[in-house]
Structure 1
Amino acid sequence: MAPKVDYVHLLWNLMQTLENQQLENALSDAFEDLINLLEVRTGIMWLKNNESKRIYSVISVGDENVSGFNIEFGQGIIGEACESFSPIEVKDVASDKRFPGGKDEVTGLNIKNVLFMPMIFGNQVVGCAEVINRVGKDDFLNNDLSLLHAFAGLSAMVIDERGFKTASETKKKTVMSLRGVKKDYKAGQETINILKGVDLDIYEKELLVILGESGCGKSTLLNIIGGMDSPTEGDIKIDGRDFSHPTEKELIKFRRDDIGFIFQAYNLMPNLTALENIKFIAEICNNPRDSKEALDMVGLSDRANNYPSMMSGGQQQRVSIARAIVKNPRIILADEPTAALDFTTGQEVLQLIESIIKDGLTTVVMVTHNVEIAKMANRVVHMKNGKIASIRLNSWPMHAADLVW
């Protein structure tokens, strides 16, 4: 049963949250509460950008995730909804010609029923809130419509007040795509479901942060992305090529050439110097960088001949980052890279990761429990109970140097 939340209380919480949270966080949390209350599967917030003449999906919560998606003004029913001053409700998508095959022609989502509520501010429609696939009841009640209307209006107001802006361009090449990924483990006679159907696209040269409580499945998801574990069920594509059932040889090559790793525990070889740790990895890769250059990129040229025992934790982690960079990987996976470090050292490590993205070197997928770190991400995935609860597009990431925790 979905949790019942009084809509006045929900809107009050949104206003209070805005005093203490980043705008995207506040809207995402409130929208998630809203779709639970309305008993719908998915919620998407669309914002118009008058300069680019495009409509952007800036927040996506629930079963389907399309954050970062953008379309031209007027395209499809979404474009229609972002021009209308009245709600648009489609109770039976299968009988509506705007949804060929029961799918939204713009996003490709499978939809049974949908409601679009315009977001109006200053006599202008600035976007719309879309709720998809109601499961609890056949129709939205008047109180439901009032709640969604109030949410859309308040969201439009706070977006205007806080200066929320969409990115001018969100089209990025998809490096890896996961659809319906599940992971089960046997525990005696029982089967434990760790991942329960994950859909996720990983884009080129982005920082993607995965948040969630312990046991939610984020580390298992990271292992599957990195080829260190295989899904029980689901499809994986790399650069559009099927990689759902790779051979052992293909997996080894993938981990060796395409994936860089940054671990919480550094995992440096104690009997090798900093430079030798990097060279060891470079020698087994297909297209490595120069090892000295990689060490210089993390500011440790003067520590080239030091063994791990002669370096601080922060310095060891920087060597670990250089070891990941030297591979020229498609994706770098970072598993709680600051968890064992103090604030100052952790911030230095995050600044290095920020520079990787800024210089366009590769994609970084980071798992962390620290919600503050998410503020520097391009996109934030929030996991709950083995599923993706929301994906948030962060149009204006903070600098690592400005983070405080």
Structure 2
Amino acid sequence: MSPETLHQFKTIGEIQSCIARADTLGQALREGLAIFVRECKAEAAIIWRADNAEVPTLRPMFWVGPEDLTSRSHVLGEGAPGRVFATQKSERRLAFAADPDPATQADFETIDIKSMACVPASGKTSNLGCLQVINKTDGGYFTDDDVDVLEIMAMSAAIALEDNEKFAAPWTPSRAIIEARGITREFQNGDDVTRVLKGVNLNVYDGELLVVLGESGCGKSTFLNIIGGMDRATSGSFTFEGKEMSQTTQAELTEYRRKNIGFIFQSYNLMPNLTALQNLRLIAELVDDPMDCEDALRLVGLGDRMGSYPSQLSGGQQQRVSIARALVKRPKLIFADEPTAALDYTTSIDVLSALEEVVHAGTTLVMVTHNEEITRMADRVVRFRNGYTHEVTVNRHPVHATDLVW
């Protein structure tokens, strides 16, 4: 048996073991695709999932790569995913250099397609979507053996878990209120330059709960500070509701933060000599149309603690005061950086339940966390790695905060 064939069988075995352990199609395909990306050195890989409409539309459910594909979709026959779903036949365009396809290239802003394959994911009784891979990180091309592995993975996952996924309602994005393109951030220390962000492309959509994960130092908090107007990118740009923010003055950034952004941090940053209600009123005086401070405290379950000072409140209660303080501004976005890191499990669930109510009331929430379990309540999950957005997952089964366990 040749080394190439042995590697192929090993990869298939790993993927099938991962599918056997999975509870949902999403989990099976995400973990299986991660193995494929690693073993076959793919630059980008996308799971396209069909909705349940009479004429299905394919939307991205999970992807690895440098672009934010959240708002992309394909109807039957449109683009490689639409063609593959319509015909249920794989497309193997393994070397584009001699035969470019402008229609496929137009689907991507930042990826120059050199090699591509797209395969159907079909169960026993229904067609669920397709898988697409683009380019190899070593500059080579996908092989027929690579695509064979992809086909086996897609078929195995779809057949094994078809019934679990058949009726899952897809989340679809509304308008993008933040659009970030090519965001970099460098820090100079003498002659040394540390590149924390290396070219982030990401949208934030109105009304979503977006969870951002990644190891320490990967750039997630730095990115939050940039789109929150507390730091400036070294290069790249971001817009807020269509307005370019990268070249604004410091006074304009202050106004942007004051009118549109609420912040929640791991440290509560409450004024110790003011009651919970007074802490909120201090912020309310800074904005034109504040929410009623007492209503904000009731919303987070502190209607009976308005007159308490921070020292008289538990850590979870102080964090809920900080959530109410952010709400008083009626912000369009709330940025929460590790809001439960210093809290025990029961208190964390109380705080996450309060944040869940904030999102249900119509506010957009972007939360940075190290806690993998919290991703289960998100609409989307973005994983940062080495200064880039590495993976994005659209969650088809978001749960309530009270369902989280760790």
* Superposition RMSD in Å: 2.3
Kindly provide the amino acid, as one letter, of the partner of residue 105 in structure 2. Answer: K
Task: Confirm whether residue 403 of structure 1 aligns to residue 404 of structure 2.
Answer: yes
Equivalences for 1:100-139 in 2 at 5 Å? 100=103, 103-105=105-107, 110-122=112-124, 124-136=126-138, 138-139=140-141
Counterpart secondary structure, 1:372: helix
* Aligned counterpart, 2:380: 379
* Aligned counterpart, 1:7: 11
Distance in 1 (CA, whole Å) between partners of 2:326 and 2:240 is 19
Kindly provide the amino acid, as one letter, of the partner of residue 76 in structure 2. Answer: F
* Aligned counterpart, 1:33: 35
Equivalences for 1:186-197 in 2 at 5 Å? 186-197=188-199
Judging changes above 3 Å, is the alpha-carbon distance between structure 1 residues 124 and 401 closer, same or farther for their aligned structure 2 residues?
A: closer
Distance in 1 (CA, whole Å) between partners of 2:58 and 2:109 is 12
Deviation at 1:86, TM superposition (A): 2.3
Q: After superposition, what is the alpha-carbon deviation per residue over 1:130-168, rounded to whole angstroms, capped at 9, x for unaligned?
A: 001234364433321221111111222244143265535
Counterpart secondary structure, 1:82: helix
User: Where do 5+ consecutive residues of structure 1 fail to align?
Assistant: none
Deviation at 1:85, TM superposition (A): 2.8
Distance in 2 (CA, whole Å) between partners of 1:182 and 1:107 is 17
* Aligned counterpart, 1:251: 253
Kindly provide the amino acid, as one letter, of the partner of residue 156 in structure 1. Answer: A
- Percent of residue pairs bearing the same amino acid type: 40
* Aligned counterpart, 2:61: 58
Deviation at 1:17, TM superposition (A): 4.1
Equivalences for 1:277-288 in 2 at 5 Å? 277-288=279-290
Distance in 2 (CA, whole Å) between partners of 1:16 and 1:370 is 25
Equivalences for 1:339-358 in 2 at 5 Å? 339-358=341-360
Counterpart secondary structure, 1:323: helix
Counterpart secondary structure, 1:325: helix
Equivalences for 1:256-295 in 2 at 5 Å? 256-295=258-297
Deviation at 1:96, TM superposition (A): 5.5
> Would you say the 8 A contact 1:379–1:392 is kept in 2?
yes
Deviation at 1:342, TM superposition (A): 1.1
Query: How high is the TM-score relative to the length of structure 2?
Result: 0.91
Bigger shift: residues 6-15 or 328-337 = 6-15
> Would you say the 8 A contact 2:171–2:396 is kept in 1?
no
Task: Confirm whether residue 18 of structure 1 aligns to residue 18 of structure 2.
Answer: no
Deviation at 1:198, TM superposition (A): 0.7
Distance in 1 (CA, whole Å) between partners of 2:125 and 2:311 is 65
* Aligned counterpart, 1:201: 203
Bigger shift: residues 36-45 or 75-84 = 75-84
Judging changes above 3 Å, is the alpha-carbon distance between structure 1 residues 293 and 315 closer, same or farther for their aligned structure 2 residues?
A: same
Judging changes above 3 Å, is the alpha-carbon distance between structure 1 residues 359 and 275 closer, same or farther for their aligned structure 2 residues?
A: same
Distance in 2 (CA, whole Å) between partners of 1:317 and 1:112 is 49
> Would you say the 8 A contact 1:65–1:390 is kept in 2?
no
Counterpart secondary structure, 1:216: coil
Bigger shift: residues 286-295 or 117-126 = 117-126
Counterpart secondary structure, 1:130: strand
Equivalences for 1:153-192 in 2 at 5 Å? 153-163=155-165, 165=167, 167-168=169-170, 170-192=172-194
Deviation at 1:339, TM superposition (A): 1.0
* Aligned counterpart, 1:322: 324
Query: How high is the TM-score relative to the length of structure 1?
Result: 0.91
Kindly provide the amino acid, as one letter, of the partner of residue 86 in structure 2. Answer: E
Counterpart secondary structure, 1:172: coil
User: Where do 5+ consecutive residues of structure 2 fail to align?
Assistant: 1-6
Counterpart secondary structure, 1:253: helix
> Would you say the 8 A contact 2:80–2:118 is kept in 1?
no
* Aligned counterpart, 2:79: 76
Q: How many residues align?
A: 398
Task: Confirm whether residue 87 of structure 1 aligns to residue 90 of structure 2.
Answer: yes
